Amino acid sequence: MENLIRLFMIIGVVAMFGHCTSDKNNAGEYHPERYISGEVRQIQRGKDGYTAKIMTADYQVYFATISIPNLGKNAAQYREVEVGETIGVKGEVWEMNGETHITVRELK
């Protein structure tokens, strides 16, 4: 009986860790740093910066999060952009809910 209880405890712990791992994968898929350029189609202002919806020349859409904290050592590059402006950004690309996002580390 004692061995049966231990077995169920081990199965429970393994199931719990497996569940935690799968939740992290659903939160967003990470891709390496990339440079993109395109036209700003929309801007949504936030607390520390803004998110610019960018459409590239090959019609790919990126949601670029631009803020002073994200720019880090390149904080002097921070500026407001306008809808219709063509910009270039470099940063980590990741996907969530079918949308491609980029955390901007360089703004050109």
What domains sit in the chain, N to C, each tagged with a CATH number?
Answer: 30-107 (2.40.50.140)
As a whole number of angstroms, the distance between CA 73 and CA 56 comes to 26
Mean per-residue pLDDT, 21-25: 43
Query: Which amino acid is residue 20, in one-letter code?
Result: C
The answer to whether the beta carbons of residues 55 and 41 sit under 8 Å apart is: yes
Supply the mean pLDDT for the chain. 86
Q: Model pTM?
A: 0.72
Question: For residue range 36-78, what is the model confidence (pLDDT) as tens digits?
Answer: 999 999 999 999 999 999 999 999 999 999 999 999 999 999 9
